[in-house]
Chains A and B, each alone.
Chain A
């Protein structure tokens, strides 16, 4: 049992520490941290280790753990022939590719519009942030009806003279439907941008204005560079969130039509908790982690030399 080994290791560590501890404060500190440390070992570090091992084997919770079969890298080779997995990567990537930039543009535009003092600006901020507090299950339940073929959104489009699609059943529109919901819930990104705009030194704008820079040039050369680190932050957090999309497709489409909304997190859930392939589900979890990590590194790489930190310049 890896858990027992871990516990023994922890016990050893604590005993060695205790021998050296003379200082009351240090002992108190470890005591204060004890709940957190227990969780770190048993609910985070231990499981992460086991998950890595599990991703190389196959086990069903219906059997005893000793019946787990070691699969080695074959488990990862399975991914190459798993058409559903490939579909799920494709639709997840498509979702991320559409949702992340669009959320960025909309949240930045709203933050710019609301970064002024006028009557009612607080009401607007409250409103635009509101959708982010809604449970994904509630989101799913309400948008499933909003997007129905005979539903209110299509009714609105009809008033405008456009025939709306069957959003959630048309393979071409199901991912954009989730992107639309993603746009409705971009409030957190907007708040990050608002905080960033607040932090830009007004003297910089003043200097640019005195140098004859118009609104557009000040936006491009003062505001955007000032927001650089936060744009990066929102892209990375947006990517992480995009790859976590689960409850909305679970409630709204169950992955359909075909595999067109079987996002990676949903496929992982199905493999682990519907078909009880806990090993393969762990493999998928690590693939998900790796994809997010690779994309994050690419974004960081691409931003190098373009994002400037105010603190570093001084």
Chain B
């Protein structure tokens, strides 16, 4: 079983990606070729240059995507870190009820909120700016990340925050100087998940960003796929370019994905 079936299955899972990369390097005019196992010959990295040239304002798209990703990461860490700390380590009335609400909002489909949010941003004159994409990360964040931060802080020994309090540390200083230095695993996980979600996002850029100078990579790639008569090798070069950073992050941070987030803090 594991000697024959698993390697075959793994190959089957890998074939679409291998095909994509090999086609992205194929000579012009070859077309699709027949068969997943029939890899094209030749090595034509110039296809990548062509893809970049045909995706529209590629450098603008790349810069926009990077900017959005960076701000979203900061926003999620800021909002969810603070909220997670409050839920985990501070006493206030209505804490548990409010935390239940955090979990309940996870159930609401994004489409229900999308239209009124669009109306709100329109009213504020923020359509075709980056605000509708960045603001939600600073205000509200993702409920799942609040949950992650809370669980992580709960796993740290309570004596840490108690000791800081007895030393006269206020909540903010306790948070910044005691908890954050111990929170690298959860900060790393939220950073990576936010990176992927923002880099790969299609819905929000699609409805909020219209002008060419505001386009992101996923929008550029979509326009590219729908252009008339695009050579398949250019298109696959384009998809490879958009995918590459995600692959790099994935392989560098495999543990975060595969082992789950270790919810263990410092010892004693």
Interface residues of chain A, those whose CB is within 8 Å of chain B, are 3, 25-26, 28-30, 32-33, 35-36, 38-40, 42-44, 46-48, 50-51, 54, 61, 65, 110, 113, 116, 118, 122-131, 133-138, 140-146, 148, 150-156, 158-159, 184, 191, 195, 240, 243-244, 246-247, 250-251, 265, 268-269, 272-273, 278, 281-282, 284-286, 288-289, 292
Contacts and interface: CB of A to CB of B under 8 A. Distances in A.
A143 B225 contact: no
Contact of A133 (B1, B5, B20, B246): B246
Contacts of B86: 29, 32-33
A155 B36 contact: yes
Nearest to B207: A273
Given A65-B119, A65-B123, A137-B218, 19 more contacts: A25-B90, A35-B78, A36-B82, A39-B79, A43-B140, A44-B113, A48-B108, A48-B112, A54-B116, A122-B254, A134-B246, A135-B200, A135-B242, A136-B200, A137-B225, A137-B242, A145-B232, A146-B16, A284-B111
Contact of B35 (A38, A40, A130, A159): A159
A47 B117 contact: yes
B83 interface: yes
A128 B10 contact: yes
B225 A251 contact: yes
Given A25-B90, A130-B13, A50 B242 contact: no
Q: Which of A33, A61, A278 has the most CB of B within 10 A?
A: A33
Contacts of B171: 25, 28-29, 32
B180 interface: no
A95 to B, nearest CB: 16
Interface string B247-260: 10011001001101
Contacts of B225: 137, 140-141, 144, 251
Q: Chain B's interface: helix, strand, loop or mixed, by majority?
A: helix
For B146, B222, B247, the residue with the greatest tally of chain A CB atoms inside 10 Å of its CB is: B222
B199 interface: yes
Contacts of B23: 145
Nearest to B93: A26
Contact of A155 (B1, B14, B35, B257): B35
Contacts of A195: 260
B13 A128 contact: yes
Contacts of A148: 32
Nearest to B117: A47
Most buried by A among B82, B202, B203, B222: B202
Nearest to A159: B35
Contacts of B246: 133-135
Interface string B92-124: 110100100110010011111111111110110
B229 interface: no
A290 to B, nearest CB: 10
B157 to A, nearest CB: 19
A225 to B, nearest CB: 22
A39 B221 contact: no
Nearest to B105: A44
B136 interface: yes
A127 B247 CA distance: 11
Contacts of B34: 150, 152, 154-155, 158
A50 B116 contact: yes
B6 A113 contact: yes
Contacts of A133: 196, 200, 246-247, 250, 257
Contacts of A141: 221-222, 224-225, 235, 238-239
